[in-house]
C-alpha cells in the first residue's frame, strides 16, 4: 500500500490534522473546537475557493502545525461512495505536500471512517520505481501514514479489512498493466501468479503443448508469431462451504503486447499496447481480493495470455482455424486477436469448469470507447437479471457500465464464404464492439448466464482532469475489480 492506515479514538498528535467542513463553511464539531475553530474560520474567511463541498481540501498552516479543512458536503449526501471520493481527494491534495503523518478527525461513524480510509488507499498508487535506476523526485510522495479517528476503532478495522483487500488487489492489477512488455512476457505473467499461492488460490497452467492437445487453436494462432509461446492459466478459489458447488467464472484477455500482427498497428498507437492484458489483470486482482478476504464463494479465473507479434510464423488474414468448440473461424483482421483468444477461453471454461455464470473482461475494441467514452464500459449480456445486477454493482462502486445490444442482427456481417464464422467485418464503419460481442456469444452455451465487459475505454484514465479517475488517478485503473467483488458479495456469497 502507498499509505499506512490506522484507526484510533482520538488524534495521535501527528504534524497535520484534517477536520470536516460542511457547505457554507459550517465546521463539524472537531473543526469548531476552541482555538482551532477560530484559526480555521479566520483562514477560510474572505476571498477563497474553498466552499466546504465534496472534494474541497485546503491545508492551512497555523502556529500549532498544519490544519487541513476537508469539504464533506451535506450530511444527507454523505454515502459510502462520497466518503471514498473525499478520502481520495484528501490523499491527492496532500501526497506531496511535505506532510508525512496526518490525523483525519472528520466526526465520522465507524463504518464511515473505514470508507474514507478506503478512498485514501485506492488513490495511494503510483507507477512502481523498479523500472528506474534513479527515482524521479517529481513522483516522490511525503504522506506515509494516516490515523483515522473513529468512535469505535475496532469496528472500523473490521469494516476496513474487506475494503483493504480489494484496494490491494486493484494496486496489483495496476502494477501488472503498467509493466513493460519485455518484463511482462506471457511466461513472466504466469510466474506472477505464484503470488496467489500463499493466499490459497490453486493455479493450473496450460502451456503451448497442452493447448495443442486440448484444441485451443485460436489462442495458439494468435501467439504463433511470437518467440514467446501463449498459455492459459486457470485460478481457483474454493471458499464456499460446499467445495463442489458450481463456481462463478471470470475470463480475462491477456495480450501482453499487441503489434496487430500482420495487420500492424500505426506506430503512434503501439507503445500503449503493453496494456492489452488489462482484462486478465482484473481477473488476477479479483481472485486475489476474494482470497485475501476469505470470500465464501467458489470462483474460477481464466487468463488467456499471448503476444500478438509479426514473424514468418504469424497467422494471416484469410487463415481458417478450428476453435476449441469445433467452430471453423476465418481470421479477417489479425489486429482483432482479442476475440479469438477469448473465444477459446470461454468455451474451455464453460466445458471444463461448468460454472453457474460466466463473465469476461477485455480491452477489446476501440469502437466501444468511441461509443461510450472513458466513463463507462460496454456491457453485453445473455441474461437480463445478470445484466441488471452487474449494472447496479457498477453504479454503487462508480465503475459504471452501459448495456449494449447483443443480437443476431449482426450474424450476416459475420458470415464467411469458406468457414462457419468470420472473426470480424472489414467495413470501415462497422460496429466492431457489437460484432465482437456477438462473435463471442457463439462460444458460450446458450443456457449459461454470460456477460462480456468491453473495458477498452475505462482500463486507463488520462492525465487531463476529465479523464482522471477519482479513486485511482491517471494511469491504469484496475477497472472491474471493485464492481465484481461487490456483485459476488451481494449475490453469491453465503
Long-range contacts of 340-343 (CB under 8 A, 24+ apart): 340/218, 340/219, 340/221, 340/222, 340/423, 341/218, 341/219, 341/222, 341/230, 341/253, 341/254, 341/255, 341/304, 341/306, 342/251, 342/253, 342/304, 342/440, 342/443, 343/218, 343/439, 343/440, 343/442, 343/443
- Let me know: does 207 contact 233? Beta carbons within 8 Å: no
Over residues 311-341, the pLDDT tens digits come to: 999 999 999 999 999 999 999 999 999 999 9
For residues 194 and 120, state if they share a domain: no
The DSSP 8-state label assigned to residue 422 in this structure reads E
Q: Please state, in angstroms and rounded to a whole number, the distance separating the CA atoms of residues 287 and 299.
A: 8
Going by pLDDT thresholds of 50, 70 and 90, the confidence category of residue 132 is: confident
- Let me know: does 304 contact 363? Beta carbons within 8 Å: no
For residues 244 and 385, state if they share a domain: yes
pLDDT recorded at residue 186: 98
pLDDT averaged over every residue in the chain = 94
For residues 144 and 197, state if they share a domain: no
**Which whole number is the average pLDDT over 424-441?**
91
For residues 148 and 246, state if they share a domain: no
**Which whole number is the average pLDDT over 7-13?**
96
Q: Domain end: 138, 153, 168, which one?
A: 153
pLDDT recorded at residue 37: 80
pLDDT > 90 fraction of the chain, expressed in percent and rounded:
81
Q: Is the pLDDT of residue 352 over 80?
A: yes
Stronger pLDDT, 121 or 139, i.e. the higher one: 121
Pick the range with the lowest mean pLDDT from 60-69, 187-196, 473-482: 60-69
**Which whole number is the average pLDDT over 263-269?**
87
Going by pLDDT thresholds of 50, 70 and 90, the confidence category of residue 465 is: very low
Going by pLDDT thresholds of 50, 70 and 90, the confidence category of residue 154 is: very high
Active site residues: 265, 339
Map residue 460 onto helix, strand or coil. Answer: strand
CATH code: domain of residue 317: 3.40.630.10
Q: Is the pLDDT of residue 298 over 90?
A: yes
For residues 46 and 193, state if they share a domain: no
- Residue 356 CA neighbour count, 13 Å, CB half: 12
- Let me know: does 328 contact 421? Beta carbons within 8 Å: yes
Map residue 186 onto helix, strand or coil. Answer: helix
Q: Please state, in angstroms and rounded to a whole number, the distance separating the CA atoms of residues 486 and 17.
A: 32
pTM beyond cutoff 0.75: yes
The DSSP 8-state label assigned to residue 17 in this structure reads E
**Which whole number is the average pLDDT over 426-432?**
82
Q: Is 8 exposed, middle or buried (0-12, 13-18, 19+ CB in 10 A)?
A: middle
For residues 241 and 378, state if they share a domain: yes
Q: Is the pLDDT of residue 425 over 70?
A: yes
pLDDT recorded at residue 47: 59
For residues 223 and 342, state if they share a domain: yes
Radius of gyration of the chain from Cα atoms? 24
Domain-embedded: residue 175? no
Q: By C-alpha distance, which of 355, 312, 367, 336 is closest to 218?
A: 336
For residues 149 and 196, state if they share a domain: no
Domain-embedded: residue 266? yes
Q: How far is CA 34 from CA 31, 273, 425, in A?
A: 9, 56, 70
Stronger pLDDT, 108 or 268, i.e. the higher one: 108
Would you list the DSSP string of 82-109?
Answer: HHHHHHHHHHHHHTTSS--EEEEE----
Q: Is 98 exposed, middle or buried (0-12, 13-18, 19+ CB in 10 A)?
A: exposed
For residues 122 and 229, state if they share a domain: no
Would you list the DSSP string of 107-174?
Answer: ---HHHHHHHHHHHHHH-----GGG-SS--GGG-----EEEEE-SSHHHHHHHHHHHHHHHHHHHHHH
Going by pLDDT thresholds of 50, 70 and 90, the confidence category of residue 467 is: very low
**Which whole number is the average pLDDT over 77-87?**
92
Domain-embedded: residue 159? no
pLDDT recorded at residue 277: 98
Q: Please state, in angstroms and rounded to a whole number, the distance separating the CA atoms of residues 168 and 160.
A: 12
Q: By C-alpha distance, which of 336, 354, 344, 348 is closest to 456?
A: 336
For residues 21 and 136, state if they share a domain: yes
Domain-embedded: residue 166? no
CB 140: neighbour CB atoms within 10 A?
11
pLDDT recorded at residue 46: 62
Q: Is the pLDDT of residue 464 over 60?
A: no
Domain that holds residue 42: 4-153
pLDDT recorded at residue 48: 67
Domain-embedded: residue 173? no
Domain count, the chain: 2
Q: Is the pLDDT of residue 466 over 50?
A: no
Domain-embedded: residue 336? yes
CATH code: domain of residue 53: 3.40.220.10
Over residues 222-259, the pLDDT tens digits come to: 999 999 999 999 999 999 999 999 999 999 999 999 99
Bridge partners, residue 17, by sequence:
67, 103
Residue 312: all three cell numbers together: 514468418
For residues 146 and 215, state if they share a domain: no
For residues 79 and 222, state if they share a domain: no
Amino acid at each position: 500500500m502507498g499509505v499506512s492506515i490506522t484507526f484510533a479514538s482520538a488524534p495521535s498528535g501527528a504534524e497535520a490534522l484534517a477536520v470536516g467542513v460542511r457547505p457554507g463553511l459550517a465546521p463539524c464539531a472537531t473543526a469548531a473546537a476552541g482555538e482551532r475553530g477560530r484559526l480555521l474560520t479566520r483562514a477560510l474567511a474572505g476571498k477563497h475557493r474553498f466552499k466546504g463541498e465534496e472534494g474541497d481540501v485546503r491545508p492551512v498552516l497555523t502556529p500549532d502545525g498544519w490544519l487541513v479543512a476537508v469539504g464533506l458536503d451535506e450530511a444527507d449526501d454523505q454515502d459510502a461512495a462520497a466518503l471514498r471520493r473525499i478520502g481520495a481527494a484528501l490523499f491527492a491534495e496532500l501526497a506531496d505536500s511535505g506532510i508525512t503523518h496526518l490525523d483525519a478527525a472528520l466526526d465520522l461513524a465507524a463504518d464511515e471512517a473505514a470508507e474514507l480510509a478506503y478512498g485514501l488507499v485506492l488513490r495511494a498508487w503510483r507507477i512502481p520505481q523498479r523500472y528506474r535506476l534513479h527515482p524521479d523526485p517529481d513522483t516522490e510522495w511525503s504522506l506515509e501514514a494516516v490515523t483515522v479517528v473513529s468512535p469505535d476503532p475496532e469496528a472500523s478495522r473490521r469494516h476496513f479489512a474487506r475494503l483493504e483487500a480489494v484496494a490491494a488487489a486493484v494496486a496489483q492489477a495496476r502494477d501488472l498493466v503498467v509493466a513493460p512488455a519485455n518484463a511482462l512476457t506471457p511466461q513472466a505473467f504466469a510466474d506472477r501468479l505464484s503470488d496467489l499461492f500463499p493466499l490459497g488460490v490453486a493455479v493450473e497452467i496450460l502451456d503451448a503443448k497442452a493447448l495443442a492437445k486440448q484444441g485451443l487453436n485460436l489462442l495458439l494462432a494468435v501467439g504463433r508469431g511470437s518467440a514467446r509461446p501463449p498459455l492459459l492459466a486457470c485460478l481457483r478459489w474454493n471458499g464456499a462451504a460446499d467445495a463442489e458447488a458450481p463456481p462463478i467464472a471470470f475470463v480475462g484477455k491477456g495480450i501482453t503486447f499487441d503489434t496487430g500482427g500482420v495487420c500492424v498497428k500505426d506506430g503512434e498507437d503501439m507503445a500503449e499496447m503493453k496494456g492489452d492484458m488489462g482484462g486478465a489483470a482484473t481477473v488476477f486482482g479479483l481472485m486475489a481480493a476474494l482470497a485475501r478476504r476469505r470470500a465464501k464463494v467458489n470462483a474460477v479465473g481464466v487468463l488467456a495470455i499471448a503476444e500478438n507479434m509479426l514473424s514468418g510464423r504469424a497467422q494471416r488474414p484469410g487463415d481458417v482455424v478450428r476453435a476449441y468448440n469445433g467452430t471453423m473461424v476465418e481470421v479477417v483482421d489479425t489486429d482483432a486477436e482479442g476475440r479469438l483468444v477469448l473465444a477459446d477461453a470461454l468455451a474451455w471454461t464453460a466445458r471444463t469448469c461448468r460454472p453457474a455464470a460466466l463473465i469476461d473482461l477485455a480491452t477489446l475494441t476501440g469502437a466501444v470507447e468511441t461509443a461510450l467514452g472513458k466513463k463507462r464500459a460496454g456491457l453485453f449480456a445473455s441474461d437480463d437479471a445478470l445484466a441488471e445486477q452487474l449494472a447496479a454493482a457498477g453504479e454503487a462502486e462508480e465503475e459504471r457500465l452501459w448495456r449494449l445490444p447483443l443480437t443476431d442482427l449482426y450474424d450476416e456481417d459475420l458470415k464467411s464464404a469458406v468457414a462457419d464464422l468470420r472473426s470480424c467485418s472489414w467495413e470501415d464503419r462497422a460496429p466492431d464492439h457489437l460484432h465482437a460481442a456477438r462473435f463471442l456469444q457463439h462460444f458460450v452455451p446458450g443456457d449459461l448466464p454470460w456477460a462480456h465487459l468491453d473495458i477498452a475505454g475505462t482500463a486507463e484514465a488520462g492525465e487531463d482532469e476529465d479523464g482522471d479517475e477519482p479513486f485511482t488517478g491517471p494511469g491504469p485503473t484496475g477497472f472491474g475489480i471493485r464492481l465484481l467483488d461487490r456483485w459476488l458479495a451481494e449475490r453469491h456469497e453465503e
